[in-house]
Amino acid sequence: MSGPQVVLVTGSTRGLGLAIVQTLCQGFKGDVYLSARDVQRGAMVVEDLQREGLKPRLLQLDITDPVSIQAARQHFMKEYGGLDVLINNAGIAPKRGDPASIGSQAERILQTNFFATRDMCNEFLPLLKKDGRIVNVASIVGYITLYMCSPDLQARLCSDDITEEELVALMKRFVAEAKDGDHINKGWPNSVYGVSKIGLMALTRIQARRLRREMPQRGILINSCCPGWVKSDMTYPNGTKTPAEGADTPVYLALLPPATQEPQGEFVVDRQVQVWAGSPTGATVDEGP
């Protein structure tokens, strides 16, 4: 693939996603796409950034809509011959005091945080140019929630032979059991957000193994990360990091130099790779929603 360099950031009209766009506009040698479900809102954000001297481009994108994903895919193929960097930042969390049942929350939150993000990875991974990068914004909450699962679930989620199909089946199982109110008895924790991020982190590992096996010569890296507890609507806004500080690790992973081989398939916090097996040390669950 050829053409100018280009990066796409999902969920980027505010908070962390917007800060990632701002940071990339200052340091990425290519076009930076801010994506928005609402084009009018996206256009207003782009105008604000232009007044700061930045030059992002706007793309309408709803990651929960397969038609919207296909339109985005076609855009980058036509205009750029592919994509250099995809940062999957779009995600949702339960709101405090949300009266919805945990089953309803599970369906809605996993649809965005896991299933729709998986669709983005699977549609755009074949488009990535040599030395392309995918960064999946996860959370330390998922990392901690993993160790609240039953030993059997932990073993499968951490295994080196779990397939994408098995992972999808596990995430669907969680949603179904949450709807039945039986998820805790079946070994799941009571954190819908946490489980959605476990799924995303496990998916990252699976797809990294696929890249090593099927496309090692292309030099593509895929990693997940935690930006930290960022001040945003999602943290109400009790976060301890500014959005700009939170953008550091996602942007670091997005701009890993060509020919870099590691990290690959890892979960990264403050630019440091975290071990994906064994109980986390010194972690607490107040790092996110």
**DSSP character at residue 192:** H
> Of the residues 33, 80, 143, 193, which is catalytic?
193
Q: Position of tokens 């193994």?
A: 209
Give the C-alpha distances (Å, rounded to integers) separating 135 from 66, 116, 226, 278. 20, 15, 10, 24
Helix (H) or strand (E) holding 223: strand 221-226
**DSSP character at residue 256:** P
Q: Exposure of 99 by Cβ count < 10 A (0-12 exposed, 13-18 middle, 19+ buried)? A: exposed
Going by DSSP bridges, is the β-strand pair 267-269/272-274 parallel, antiparallel, or unpaired? antiparallel
Phi/psi of residue 29, nearest 5 degrees: -90, 75
Q: Exposure of 71 by Cβ count < 10 A (0-12 exposed, 13-18 middle, 19+ buried)? A: middle
Closest CA to 53 of 26, 34, 20, 33: 26
Catalytic residue list contains 193: yes
Structure tokens at 71: 């339109």
Catalytic sites, residue numbers = 193
